[in-house]
Chain A
Amino acid sequence: MTYQSQSVAKPYFIAAIGLFIGQILFGVILGLQYVVGDFMFPEIPFNVARMVHTNLLIVWLLFGFMGSAYYLIPEESETELWSPALALLMFWIFLVAGAATILGYLLVPYATLAEITMNDLLPTMGREFLEQPTVTKIGIVIVALAFLLNIGMTLLKGRKTAVSLVMFIGLVGLAVFFLFSFYNPENLVKDKYYWWFVVHLWVEGVWELIMGAILAFVLIKTTGVDREVIEKWLYVIIAMALISGLIGTGHHFYWIGTPEYWQWWGSIFSAMEPIPFFMMTIFAFNMVNRRRRNHPNQAAVLWALGTSVMAFLGAGVWGFLHTLAPVNYYTHGTQITAAHGHMAFYGAYVMIVLTMISYAMPLLRGRTQANSNKSQVVEMWSFWLMTVSMVFITLFLTGAGVLQTYMQRYTETPMSFMEVQDKIAIFYWLREGAGVVFLIGLLLYVSSFFIGQDEPEATVPE
């Protein structure tokens, strides 16, 4: 750690991992509910479990991004953070608001939650992923503004690099596009249309900038390759990500009542979306091959390479599978979407945050470069357990999705939704098994923070 104020990243990372555990616990409950429908009913019904699973994911990733920014920006800007106190205050506000919201989901019926939080004054609730009460949404905006102010002022007073600039643009975009969650028109077409401005333009737009910047930062640190080379790649990658991702929003506008031309532009441009992810894979492996030194934190390098591959597979390949309008006509909203969602979120955003945590956390906890060998070995085991089980979750869901698409939509004698769900139950059981392995991997990951802490730091492998 070069600057004292970088230490504010630590609580953000700890909270992120804590919420990650919650997300996976609910994931395992949810997975079981697919085959044992009344499991934990009425305490935790399926719709609530799903809401908690997805909302926790988003919230912990936001914690991860903010923590990453608080670590990365001072180091890139070569100056202390503008206001560490503000960063800590925002941490507690965000954590309390997040926890209260999740408790609200779990403890009272959703309609009651809407009433208590006075949703009718400015109705924004009730839409997938944006279920948060309006007050929580306002809280998110306040936290985001304070966060951007803090990061922005730090940037202004320090050195400006491509990495920090791309990171900042990504974070500003994240805040700006979230504002569309306050727009809740009566017209259902418009509602869906702008809903995607948050959902799509986050994950297939500005979040890719954040991912690219963090990846570039960790690669600069761990490989010692010239900054100029890495920044050049970063520029090309984000340009491709924006060109394909922005117009690629059209692949959500096929069947919601928008003009027909979206079927063309959505198909063509979203078919390009794998390109920036593929470039990221080439980029990461290239930089590691051209490394000037072996960094003792091999776990962080593994995460960095892993995220580039898994993001390409999950976001790129699995996205492409069902992005073309003629294909999507049959696959829309089936388990193929779920398969893509799982691997894309894990490969791109979970893994990039874990990459950053893996690199920064040892330094935040007083190591000079890396954790002990023992700790890293456990961390790498958790990498493989989580990653391989996620591959299996994706494959099982894809199997379920292909069958579902065929039996429910494609065949001459289509079956009803629930009949099909019964037929593909075996895939849900297998997915649940893989989910449990993922949870074990996650627990192993957490344990790596406690194992081998008294042992000396790992040394550079010759």
Chain B
Amino acid sequence: MINDTQNNLVIEKRKLPPGDFAIWIFIMAELLVFAILFATYAFTRAGDVELFNASQLSLNQNFALINTLTLITSSYFVVRAVAAMREDKAKNCFNWLIAAIFMGLIFLVVKSIEYNHHYSEGINMRTNQFFMFYFALTFFHFMHVVMGMVILGANAVKTRAGNYTSENHTGLETGASYWHMVDMVWLILFPLIYVMR
């Protein structure tokens, strides 16, 4: 009897997937969209590998690497935020969330510098097929980072207001799940567009 109850408690605590179920439907739909975009990119590239490789050279891999590290770090901060909340340390959780949002901001700034660089060189969506994909894919992801920051911001506000407890912080896990998705998509986008030749 006691064992059963304990098992139930363990199951309760490690509820999978974490966060609200609805966000997972949303995440799956988003991943489907990105998967189709990536597949379309791959097929189009196969049709004109030389053009894609040549155009790729004009991208700044260092900027992209900085952004990759930035997003991974921010995901780590979000993990720490959720972990802090599991121990009822709302203040710590709030600080980690702010740090994560700040990393998101760095990502946006770096990406904007990159865009500005392209535009000053006269490169845009109509330059060629590679840049059409490059701008569309990265900008679509850019908007997801903005959206993720808004969600994390809402989580931070609620954390500060004391709306979460170690027992009940589904909203926080929901926001964290979305942010990890945004991070993960970049981890595919980065090698696909910047590195793979």
* Residue A446 is within 8 A (CB to CB) of chain B in the complex: no
Which residues from A are CB-within-8-Å of B26? 236, 239-240
Q: Is the CB of B136 within 8 A of A261?
A: yes
Determine if A439 is an interface residue (Cβ-Cβ < 8 Å).
no
B33 neighbours in A (Cβ, 8 Å)? 243-244, 268-269, 272
* A235 in contact with B22 given A261-B132, A261-B136 (CB within 8 Å): yes
Q: Are B136 and A265 in contact (CB under 8 A)?
A: yes
What are 29 residue pairs bridging A and B, where the CB atoms are less than 8 Å apart in the complex?
A232-B20, A232-B22, A233-B22, A235-B22, A236-B23, A236-B25, A236-B26, A239-B26, A240-B26, A243-B30, A243-B33, A259-B126, A261-B125, A261-B132, A264-B132, A264-B133, A264-B136, A265-B136, A268-B33, A268-B36, A268-B37, A269-B33, A271-B36, A272-B32, A272-B33, A272-B36, A275-B29, A275-B32, A279-B25
Q: With A232-B22, A236-B22 given, can you name 11 additional A-B contacts, CB distance below 8 Å? A: A233-B22, A240-B26, A244-B33, A261-B125, A264-B136, A265-B136, A268-B33, A268-B40, A271-B36, A272-B29, A272-B33
Give Cα A235 to B29, complex, Å: 14
CB-CB < 8 A to A264: which residues of B?
40, 132-133, 136
B189 vs chain A, min Cβ distance (A): 15
Residue contact A261 to B22, C-beta cutoff 8 Å? no
* CA gap between A62 and B8 in the complex, in Å: 52
Interface residues of A in 225-243 (CB under 8 A from B): 232-233, 235-236, 239-240, 243
- Shortest beta-carbon contacts, A-B, top 4: A232-B22, A261-B132, A236-B22, A236-B26
> What is the chain B residue whose CB lies nearest that of A261?
B132
Name B144's closest neighbour in chain A (CB-CB). A243
Which chain B residues in 107-145 approach chain A with CB under 8 Å?
125-126, 132-133, 136
Assess A259 versus B29: contact at CB under 8 Å? Given A235-B22, A265-B136: no
* Docked CA distance A240–B136 (Å): 18
Q: Please give me the residue from chain B that is nearest to A240 by CB atom.
A: B29
Interface size on A, residues (CB 8 A): 18
CB of A451, distance to nearest CB on chain B (Å): 42
In the bound complex, how far is the Cα of B33 from the Cα of A264, in angstroms?
13
Min Cβ gap B63→A in Å is 24
How distant is B45 from chain A, measured CB to nearest CB, in Å?
Answer: 13
B contact residues around A239 at 8 Å (CB): 26
Q: By CB atoms of chain B within 10 A, which of A261, A271, A272 has the most?
A: A261
Q: Which of B32, B36, B125, B133 contacts A259 (CB 8 A)?
A: B125
B10 to chain A, nearest CB (A): 26
Residue in A233, A236, A239, A240 whose Cβ sees the most chain B Cβ within 10 Å = A236
Residues of A within 8 A of B40 (CB): 264, 268
Chain B residues, CB < 8 A from A261: 125-126, 132, 136
- In Å, the complex CA distance between A428 and B132 comes to 43
> What chain B residues lie within 8 Å of A240 (beta carbons)?
26, 29
User: Which residues from 16 to 62 on chain B have a C-beta closer than 8 Å to any C-beta of chain A?
Assistant: 20, 22-23, 25-26, 29-30, 32-33, 36-37, 40
Q: Nearest CB to that of A279 among chain B residues?
A: B25
How near does chain B come to A161, taking the closest CB pair, in angstroms? 17
Taken together as a complex, chains A and B put the C-alpha atoms of A233 and B36 apart, in Å, by 24
Question: Interface 1/0s, chain A 241-279, versus B by CB < 8 A?
Answer: 001100000000000000101001100110110010001
Smallest CB separation, B46 vs chain A (Å): 15
A233 and B126 alpha carbons, distance in the complex (Å):
38
Collect the chain B residues with CB atoms within 8 Å of residue A275's CB: 29, 32
State A235–B22 Cα separation when bound (angstroms).
9
The residue on A at minimum CB distance from B135 is A261
A271 to B32 alpha-carbon distance, docked (Å) = 11
CB distance from B146 to the nearest CB of A (A): 13
Residues of B within 8 A of A259 (CB): 125-126
Cα of A243 to Cα of B23 in the assembled complex, Å: 15
Closest to B143 in A: A243
The chain A residue sitting closest to B133, CB to CB, is A264
Residues on A with C-beta less than 8 A from B132 are: 261, 264
Give Cα distance in the complex from A85 to B25, angstroms: 44
Closest to A243 in B: B33
Chain A residue with minimal CB distance to B147?
A239
A431 to chain B, nearest CB (A): 35
For A231, give the chain B residue with the smallest CB separation.
B22
CA distance A268 to B30 in the complex (A): 13
- Report the separation of the CA atoms of residues A81 and B32 in the bound assembly, to the nearest whole angstrom: 43
Identify which of B20, B33, B37 gathers the most chain A CB atoms within 10 Å of its CB: B33
| Nearest-CB residue, chain B, relative to A232 | B22
> Shortest beta-carbon distance, B137 to chain A, in Å?
11
Report the separation of the CA atoms of residues A264 and B36 in the bound assembly, to the nearest whole angstrom: 11
A275 to B29 alpha-carbon distance, docked (Å): 8
Residue of B nearest to A244 (CB): B33
Cα A261 to Cα B25 in complex, Å, equals 29
Looking at A264, A265, A269, A272, the one whose CB has the most chain B CB atoms below 10 A away is A264
Considering the complex, give the chain A residue whose CB is closest to the CB of B21.
A232
State which residues 135-184 of B face A: CB under 8 Å: 136
| Chain A residues with CB under 8 A of B37 | 268
1/0 per residue A185-226: CB within 8 Å of B?
A: 000000000000000000000000000000000000000000
A275 to B36, CA, bound (A): 14
Task: For A279, list chain B residues within 8 Å (CB).
Answer: 25
Complex CA gap A243/B33 in Å reads 10
Complex CA distance for A290 and B190, rounded to whole angstroms = 43
- A346 vs chain B, min Cβ distance (A): 26
In A346-376, which residues have CB < 8 Å from any B CB? none
B30: chain A residues at CB < 8 Å are: 243
Complex CA–CA separation, A239 to B147 (angstroms): 11
CB of B26 to closest CB in A, whole Å: 5
Q: Tell me the smallest distance from the CB of B35 to a CB of chain A, in Å.
A: 11
Which residues of chain B come closer than 8 Å to A244, judged between CB atoms?
33
Give the chain A neighbours of B25 by CB distance below 8 A.
236, 279
CB of A274 to closest CB in B, whole Å: 11
Kindly report which residue of chain B lies nearest to residue A272, judged by CB atoms.
B33
